[in-house]
Structure formats: structure tokens, C-alpha cells
A and B are shown apart, each in its own frame.
Chain A
Amino acid sequence: DMAELLKLQSEIKEFPKDQAQETRQEENQAATRIQSWFRACKVRAYLSHLHKKAIIIQKIWRGFTARAPQRSCTATFSMLHANISVKPLCSQIQRRWRGFFVRKYIHNFYARKSYLEGVTMKNESVRRELDELEELQKRERDCLAMVKEQTAKVYQAHRLHHLVSTKQCPGVFNSPFRPAPHEMELLLRQVKYQTPTRLAPRGRARPLGIPSPTAPSFPGTLGSPWIKTSRTCCSRPVLPPIVSKKQQGLYREPGEVWEQRVQCPDLMLCLQTSYTHLEEAQNQLQQKETVRVPQKHISYTNTTTDSHTVMLQKSSHIYWSSHNIKATCLIVCKSLLGSYGLGGRAGYPLITRLAV
């Protein structure tokens, strides 16, 4: 009972008094710490809760204020305000924009116009170029054809050289009824007889002794760079002949004496025309010698007849002492040809030797 209780109490009090006293402080402090920590946690939790809620409120508020001007200015707002329907106006705006875009970027009228103009111009220029090209090609072909024709004619002239007309007998191409000799006749006169070779000169090799055929004026280069020119006939430029100053006076041309020495070593002193005129001439000369003093210094190479005195006198006066013995030789040969006729076989080797 009470006594026991008092006794127990005193025992309890007295027993761990110092120990409890010591640990009391520590335990108190520990308890305080725990309590303070717990309270801190509680407060923090509460604060963070408050923060979050504050953020949500601020967020909503700020969004609201930011949209406020849009809400006040938009047509929708005013339309809604004024109770007008919005859809056709939107389609107006879209329509205008789409029209502009298509007209500027997709179906650009000005681009198409300039494109079509460009096409026309390109067509024109190509057409011009192609025309020029065709023209050039045609000229080239004509030139080739002409050269071919000319070479063929010259070749013919070579083969028919014997048809040239002589003093005695006009040739086939030099009919006395014609006003002027035929071109073939002229060619024949120009042709120098060559001993026939196996192949007649064709194509490029120009026959000797012929003046160059009328050099066709052909432009050496073609304008368009992408056409390769075929071999043209006149690709080599023809140089002009070297003009030496003609010496005054009766000088022989250079090379003539050499030619005479080489080619006509034994000049057969044949006369121009008739077969027996040597005898006749001698007779005449004897007659004339008795009449007058010969004024021209006749070289012993030639005697003349009456009918040809004039011509020879003229020629002798100017040419005699100097040039053209060779020309006379040629004339002589031709006259021989004429006088012997075309069939004269005997004359040929002689002429050949002389003419070479």
C-alpha cells in the first residue's frame, strides 16, 4: 500500500538517480532534435506544396494575360462580338494568297513569255546557221565539181593535142566561120604534149603547162566550229607569182638560153608551111639578093617565103636576136604537123624530140 508505494518510489528515486540525471539531458536533446527535424520536414513539405500551387496559379495567370491582346484585337473576336460569320472571310484570305502564289511561282506568265521568245530566237539562229552550213556545203560541192570538170577537159585536151589548128589548116575547134576560137582550141594551144603515161593525171596533180584553173574563191574555214571540213580542193593557198622587174631592152628571159640548149639542140630548120618552100625560098632569095642588100641580119637558121615575110620581118625586128626561138620552134613543129597531116607518123618522133 501506501507504505510500499512510498518505499518503491524512494527506491526508484534513489536507485539510478545520477545515471538518469546524466542521460536525461542527452535524451532530451535527442528528442528535441528529432522533433525539430520532423517539424522541419513538415514545414518543407508544406512550403513546396505551396510553391507548386503558386506556380500553377502564376502559369495560368500569365497565359491569360498574354492572350489578352490577341483576344481583344482579332477579327474573330470583333466579329464574334459583332455576330458576323468567319468562314467566308478566311477563304477570301486563302484564295487571295493561293492566287498570288500560283501566279508568281507555279504558272509564271512572264517566265513563260520570255521562254517562248527565247525559243523563237533560238529557232531563228539555228535556222540561219543551218542555212549557212548548207550554203557552204553546196559551194564546196560545186567547187569540187568544177575542178573535176576542168581537169577532165584538160585531160581531153592532152589526148587531143594533135587537133590544134596550124597555120595551114584550121583545126576542128577553130572553124573559120566562128567569130573566135572555141575554148577547146585555146586549151589545145596551151597544152604541152606529154608522152602518154599509164595513168592520166587526175585529181590533184595539175597538168603541166596549163595555167591554173580559175582558182575558185572558197573560204578556207567554216564558221561553225562543230563541223569538220572535208578535204576541199583549194585548201592550199595559192601564192601570187613572183613578179620580177622587167628589164628594159632586148634581153632574153632567164632560163631561155638554157632551155634552148637543152631542148632544141639540133634545130631542124624547117619552114612553116609548104613542103617545097625551101627550094622556092632559095630561089627567091637568090633573086632578092641580086636586087637589094638584106637589111635584116638573118640568122642562118631560117629562110622565109613571100607570104610569110611580113610576119617574120616583124617578129625578126623585135624578137630575132633574142627571144622566142623556142616559140618559133613550136610554131615550126605545129606547122610541120599541119603540113604532114594528122596521119604523119614520121613526124611524130621528131616532134617529140623537139618538144621535150
Chain B
Amino acid sequence: MSQRQIVQVFEQYQKSRMQFVQTVADLAARPQNIEILRNAGVMSMLRPLLLDVVPSVQQTAALALGRLADHSDDLAEAVVKEDILPQLVQSLASQNRFYKKAAAFVLRAVAKHSPELSQAVVACGGVDALVLCLEEFDPGVKEAATWALGYIARHNALLSQSVVDAGAVPLLVLCLLEPEIALKRIAASTLSDISKHTPELAQTVVDTGAIAHLAQMILNPDAKLKRQVFSALSQISKHSVSLAEMVIEAEIFPAALASLRDQDEYVRKNVATLMREVVKHSPELSQVIINYGALSGVIDYVNDCRGNLRLPGIMMLGYVAAHSENLAMAVIISKGVPQLGLCLSEESEHHIKAATVWSIGQIGHHTPEHAKAVATAHLLPKLLELYMDARSSEDLQAKSKKALKSILQKCTYVPGLEPLLYDAPSNILKHVVCQFSKVLPHDSKARRLFVTSGGLKKVQEIEAEPGSALQEHINAINNCFPEELVRYYTPGYSDALLERLDNYQSA
């Protein structure tokens, strides 16, 4: 055979390899084909093609592998088991940028499913190779590498630590400064994933000066970027007071409030999360945030959105009010309490209701003024109802009971207390009656109201064990009223009178 014919054989083989790999890559893009491909044994076929002579075959094979691993975790496990990862990692160092992109895609697809798979990626030196990729010029390669690192760091603190130990953080901060928006997004998201686990990791991120750059990007019009930036800032600030103070010192605050009205709902949610994480540490930080006028922004935000998006806003109000009574008063005058009442009635999920109930408890438990504000919004019967409802989850019941008790212990607003006399179980009732016994001896108008609205009658109907606290309170109440009135309202009084009539002999 002539040389040409022999060479033609090789060319034909190369063409068919290329075609195979491209078709597999295209098929793997659709989820319905993947099972079939898997059963046909595509993994073992693709593996030798990764080491092919022709670079485009390598790249396309890597791309196909990445798409397969992306789809399901057993395929990803198969990738790990077949020892494909060490090959990939080795060739990452040497190949051109298309291969690097494809290989980083495979690593990301493997690492995203579970911590064990990420550990496998780390174990074969994937993190170091990815960090090397971060030093490339091509933004696509950097993006792919950053994304893979992000997925690795997402799972737990140990993996994040290994990413940080490989020296990724300064390079990630440099990626933040690049002009490409997609790269900025991914870098911000990775920093957020790294710093979310422990304070030390967050401190490492802060030490590279990430906060200043993140703060600058708040003014960027791109919505997805803002999502990631706010998420990163909130993950940093959630760990400790000093980190939160550093975030505040970066002067994000008046600008961040504008993002509370952004079109994108997740941007708004992440701003609210950031505020919650900052506010929960200390009263001074809450004060700083309130001085920027954040309360009205948050209350409007809670008003506008629905469902799970409301949760950070509600919790922020609770944390603010928890610190001290003048902060709680600030929440009250910003009309936070009616808004929380609306949330309580509109939302159906129990964890959101539990958070709302907790916030209401934090607002109302400081002084009688606060308790009055809660009572005038007609929230006490709602709290009671949530406590009594058998369908409420345990967490919700416990929280509503605690909130109710703490508010009742300070409540002196008689019209608010009255509805509770009728339906409450005894453990709540004793607090209600106790409050009445404190208020009634001093206020004559309240006494009159108490009688005319039927409260005295109800109190007489309460059965209490003699000697218990409840009985003492009842006695205290009865002492405020003339005896005839008390006797008039005791149950069975009419029978007693009739009996007396029977025994009466006219003189």
C-alpha cells in the first residue's frame, strides 16, 4: 500500500473519533439521552479519548464528560472511580485554554454533587490545578476555574479550608476586579461560599481586602452580580461583631438601601439578609442601621414580597427589637407591628409564622407601652389561636406560647386583655388574670368596663384550686368590687336566691 493510503486510514480513524466525540457531547446536552448513553458504556469509551493525540478530540471528550457528570451523581461517581480525575488534573497544567475550560467544567460537575466527590477532587490535586488556572489570562478559563472552586468550597468548612490553603483567595479578589461581568459574578459567589462556614475563613477573605471591592460593586446595574455581592457581604458579616463592623465601615449603607427597591427579588432578599446579619450582633450596630432609615425600607420590603422572601426582613425587625426597649419603640413607631400582623395572617408556612411570632414577642416584651402597641394591633388573640391550634408545628406553638407569656407579663391594656379571658387555657389564663389583678385596683373606669363587658362574670366562672396563684389573683380582683356585685355574678347565684326564697318565711 502506498503511503497515502496508509495515512488515509489514520485520517479516517481520526475523523470517526472526532465525530463520535462530538455526537456524544451533543447527545449529553439533553437529559433524556444520558441514561441510554450510560448503559451503552460511554464512560469507559470517553476515557482513552481524553488522552488522544488530537487536541480537539481531547477537548470535546472532556466537554462530553463534563456534561455527563453534571447530570447525575452516579455518573460523577463513575468519573471518580474510573480514575479519570488524575489524568484531567495533570493535563490541566499543560494544555491550551479550551482544554482547561473543559477540564475545569468536568471538575465542577463532579464536585457539585456531594462533599465526598469534592473530597475526591481535592485529593487528586484538583484544587492546586484550578488555582493555577486562575492565573491564566483568558477570562473563560478563570470563570470555569472559579466556578469549580466555588462548588468545592460550598459543602463544608474543611473543603473551604483546603481551597483557602491553596492560595485561592487573593486570586479570587483579583478576579473580582476584572471587567467581565460573568467573572465578577462567579468570583463573588465563590467568596460568599468560602466565607460562609467559619469566622476564620471569613477573616481570611476580609484580610485580602475583599470588602472594599465588593462594596464598590454594589453600584453596578447588573442584578445577578448584586445578588452575589450582597450574599457575600452577609456571609462575611454573620460571624462576629468585628466582621460586621468592618462591613459597615465600608460605607455600603445608604447605597444598599436603594437596592431594596431593585427589580430583582433576590437582590432585595439578599440586602435584607445582610441587614439581618449585621443587626443581630449588637445594639450599636442596630442603631447605626436604623439611623440610615433602614426600618422603613425593610417594612416596605416585607409588605411587597410574599413567602420565603419575607423571612430575612421579619427576622431583622425581631433582632432589632430584641436589643433594647428604645430600639423596639423605634420599630413600633415605624409601623412594624401592623405589618407583622399582616404577615401573620397572609403567610401559611409555619416557619415564617414562627419567625413572625418571635419578632412580635421581642417587640412586645419590654414595657407596658410596647405591650399596648402589640395589643392594639389585635395580635394577642392571633397569638393565642396559633398556640392553641393543633395543626401548628411544635416550634410554632412553643414560640407563640413564649411570646404570649412575655407580652402578657407586661400588658396593662385592659381591652386587649379581655378577649383572652374566654378562650385561653389555664397556663395563659393565670397570666391574664394576674395582669387584671394588677390593673383593676387602681383604675375605676377600667373596673366599670370590666363589669359591663362581662369580664367579671367570666372571672367568677373560672375554677381555680384554692391556694394557687390563680385563686389569689381572682381574690384580688374580687376585692376590687363590692360584694353584692361579686355575688351577683357568681354562677349559681340565681339558684341560691331561689333556695333562699324557698326557705323564706314571711314574718
- Identify the A interface with B (CB < 8 A): 112, 115-116, 119-120, 122-127, 130, 133-134, 137, 141, 224, 226-228, 230
Flag if B334 contacts A119 (CB, 8 Å). yes
- A120 contact set on B, CB distance < 8 A: 333-334
Q: How far apart sit A119 and B293, CA to CA, in the bound complex (Å)?
A: 7
Flag if A119 contacts B219 (CB, 8 Å). no
Q: A120-B333, A120-B334, A228-B221 are in contact. Are A126 and B261 (CB under 8 A)?
A: no
With CB as the reference atom, state the residue of chain A lying closest to B331. A119
With CB as the reference atom, state the residue of chain B lying closest to A224. B258
The A-B contact count (CB < 8 A) is 60
- Contact among B220, B254, B330 for A119, CB-based, below 8 A: B330
Cβ contacts A to B, 24 pairs, < 8 Å: A112-B329, A115-B330, A116-B333, A119-B291, A119-B333, A123-B293, A123-B295, A123-B296, A124-B296, A126-B293, A127-B293, A127-B297, A130-B297, A130-B300, A133-B258, A137-B261, A137-B263, A141-B263, A224-B258, A226-B254, A227-B255, A227-B258, A228-B219, A228-B221
How does the 8 Å CB contact mask read for B167-187 relative to A, with 1 for contact and 0 for none?
A: 000000000000000000000
- A134 contact set on B, CB distance < 8 A: 261
Flag if A130 contacts B333 (CB, 8 Å). no
Q: Smallest distance from the beta carbon of B260 to chain A beta carbons, Å? A: 7
Flag if B261 contacts A112 (CB, 8 Å). no
- B292 contact set on A, CB distance < 8 A: 122, 126
Taking the complex as formed, is B34 at the interface, i.e. its CB lies under 8 A from any CB of chain A?
A: no
Q: Smallest distance from the beta carbon of A123 to chain B beta carbons, Å? A: 4
- B329 contact set on A, CB distance < 8 A: 112, 116
With CB as the reference atom, state the residue of chain A lying closest to B293. A126
The listed residue with most A CB atoms (<10 A of its CB), out of B220, B221, B296, is: B296
Q: Smallest distance from the beta carbon of B179 to chain A beta carbons, Å? A: 16
> In residues 231-268 of chain B, which contact A (Cβ within 8 Å)?
254-255, 257-258, 260-261, 263
Q: How far apart sit A77 and B329, CA to CA, in the bound complex (Å)?
A: 50
Taking the complex as formed, is B290 at the interface, i.e. its CB lies under 8 A from any CB of chain A?
A: yes
Taking the complex as formed, is B326 at the interface, i.e. its CB lies under 8 A from any CB of chain A?
A: yes
Q: Smallest distance from the beta carbon of B313 to chain A beta carbons, Å? A: 14
With CB as the reference atom, state the residue of chain A lying closest to B255. A226
Flag if A119 contacts B257 (CB, 8 Å). no
Q: Smallest distance from the beta carbon of A86 to chain B beta carbons, Å? A: 34
Q: A120-B334, A133-B258 are in contact. Are A125 and B293 (CB under 8 A)?
A: yes
Interface size class on chain B is 20 to 34
Q: Smallest distance from the beta carbon of B39 to chain A beta carbons, Å? A: 46
Flag if A123 contacts B334 (CB, 8 Å). yes
- B255 contact set on A, CB distance < 8 A: 226-227
With CB as the reference atom, state the residue of chain B lying closest to A133. B258
Flag if A133 contacts B219 (CB, 8 Å). no
With CB as the reference atom, state the residue of chain A lying closest to B220. A228
Q: How far apart sit A126 and B333, CA to CA, in the bound complex (Å)?
A: 15
Flag if A116 contacts B330 (CB, 8 Å). yes
Q: Pick the 8 closest A-B CB pairs, nearest first.
A: A126-B293, A123-B296, A122-B293, A230-B221, A127-B296, A134-B261, A119-B330, A228-B219
With CB as the reference atom, state the residue of chain A lying closest to B299. A123
Q: Smallest distance from the beta carbon of A231 to chain B beta carbons, Å? A: 9
Q: How far apart sit A116 and B330, CA to CA, in the bound complex (Å)?
A: 6
With CB as the reference atom, state the residue of chain B lying closest to A107. B326
- Contact among B257, B290, B291 for A130, CB-based, below 8 A: B257
> In residues 376-415 of chain B, which contact A (Cβ within 8 Å)?
none
With CB as the reference atom, state the residue of chain A lying closest to B261. A134
Secondary structure call for the A interface: helix
- A124 contact set on B, CB distance < 8 A: 296
Q: Smallest distance from the beta carbon of A95 to chain B beta carbons, Å? A: 22
- A116 contact set on B, CB distance < 8 A: 326, 329-330, 333
- A119 contact set on B, CB distance < 8 A: 290-291, 295, 330, 333-334
- B257 contact set on A, CB distance < 8 A: 126, 130
Q: How far apart sit A230 and B255, CA to CA, in the bound complex (Å)?
A: 15
Q: How far apart sit A130 and B261, CA to CA, in the bound complex (Å)?
A: 7
Flag if B330 contacts A127 (CB, 8 Å). no
Q: Smallest distance from the beta carbon of A120 to chain B beta carbons, Å? A: 6
- Contact among A115, A122, A228 for B326, CB-based, below 8 A: A115
Q: How far apart sit A119 and B289, CA to CA, in the bound complex (Å)?
A: 11
With CB as the reference atom, state the residue of chain B lying closest to A121. B293
Q: A120-B334, A127-B300 are in contact. Are A226 and B258 (CB under 8 A)?
A: yes
- B330 contact set on A, CB distance < 8 A: 115-116, 119
The listed residue with most B CB atoms (<10 A of its CB), out of A112, A119, A134, is: A119
With CB as the reference atom, state the residue of chain B lying closest to A119. B330
Flag if B258 contacts A112 (CB, 8 Å). no
How does the 8 Å CB contact mask read for B346-364 relative to A, with 1 for contact and 0 for none?
A: 0000000000000000000
With CB as the reference atom, state the residue of chain A lying closest to B326. A112
Beyond A126-B296, A133-B261, A226-B255, list 4 extra A-B contacts (CB 8 Å).
A125-B293, A130-B297, A137-B261, A227-B258
Q: Smallest distance from the beta carbon of A9 to chain B beta carbons, Å? A: 114
- B258 contact set on A, CB distance < 8 A: 130, 133, 224, 226-227
Q: Smallest distance from the beta carbon of B472 to chain A beta carbons, Å? A: 31
How does the 8 Å CB contact mask read for B285-314 relative to A, with 1 for contact and 0 for none?
A: 000001111111100100000000000000
Flag if B219 contacts A227 (CB, 8 Å). yes
With CB as the reference atom, state the residue of chain A lying closest to B219. A228
- A112 contact set on B, CB distance < 8 A: 326, 329
Q: Smallest distance from the beta carbon of A250 to chain B beta carbons, Å? A: 55
> In residues 306-330 of chain B, which contact A (Cβ within 8 Å)?
326, 329-330
- A123 contact set on B, CB distance < 8 A: 293, 295-296, 334
Q: How far apart sit A119 and B335, CA to CA, in the bound complex (Å)?
A: 12
Q: Smallest distance from the beta carbon of B415 to chain A beta carbons, Å? A: 24
Q: How far apart sit A120 and B334, CA to CA, in the bound complex (Å)?
A: 6
Q: Smallest distance from the beta carbon of A121 to chain B beta carbons, Å? A: 9
Q: How far apart sit A133 and B291, CA to CA, in the bound complex (Å)?
A: 20
- A130 contact set on B, CB distance < 8 A: 257-258, 260-261, 296-297, 300
Q: Smallest distance from the beta carbon of B471 to chain A beta carbons, Å? A: 36
- B261 contact set on A, CB distance < 8 A: 130, 133-134, 137
The listed residue with most B CB atoms (<10 A of its CB), out of A115, A126, A141, A228, is: A126
With CB as the reference atom, state the residue of chain A lying closest to B330. A119
With CB as the reference atom, state the residue of chain A lying closest to B300. A127
Q: How far apart sit A127 and B297, CA to CA, in the bound complex (Å)?
A: 6
- B334 contact set on A, CB distance < 8 A: 119-120, 123
> In residues 195-239 of chain B, which contact A (Cβ within 8 Å)?
219-221
- A127 contact set on B, CB distance < 8 A: 293, 296-297, 300
Q: How far apart sit A228 and B259, CA to CA, in the bound complex (Å)?
A: 12
With CB as the reference atom, state the residue of chain B lying closest to A130. B261
- A224 contact set on B, CB distance < 8 A: 258
Q: Smallest distance from the beta carbon of A124 to chain B beta carbons, Å? A: 7
- Contact among B219, B221, B260 for A226, CB-based, below 8 A: B219
Q: Smallest distance from the beta carbon of A225 to chain B beta carbons, Å? A: 10
Q: How far apart sit A116 and B290, CA to CA, in the bound complex (Å)?
A: 11
Q: How far apart sit A230 and B221, CA to CA, in the bound complex (Å)?
A: 7
Q: Smallest distance from the beta carbon of A235 to chain B beta carbons, Å? A: 14
Flag if A126 contacts B297 (CB, 8 Å). yes
Q: How far apart sit A130 and B262, CA to CA, in the bound complex (Å)?
A: 10
With CB as the reference atom, state the residue of chain B lying closest to A126. B293
With CB as the reference atom, state the residue of chain B lying closest to A228. B219
Q: Smallest distance from the beta carbon of A174 to chain B beta carbons, Å? A: 40
Q: How far apart sit A123 and B293, CA to CA, in the bound complex (Å)?
A: 5
Q: How far apart sit A227 and B256, CA to CA, in the bound complex (Å)?
A: 10
Q: Smallest distance from the beta carbon of B287 to chain A beta carbons, Å? A: 10
Q: Smallest distance from the beta carbon of A138 to chain B beta carbons, Å? A: 9
The listed residue with most A CB atoms (<10 A of its CB), out of B293, B333, B334, is: B293
- B290 contact set on A, CB distance < 8 A: 119
Q: How far apart sit A124 and B297, CA to CA, in the bound complex (Å)?
A: 10
Q: Smallest distance from the beta carbon of A323 to chain B beta carbons, Å? A: 49
> In residues 10-46 of chain B, which contact A (Cβ within 8 Å)?
none
With CB as the reference atom, state the residue of chain A lying closest to B290. A119
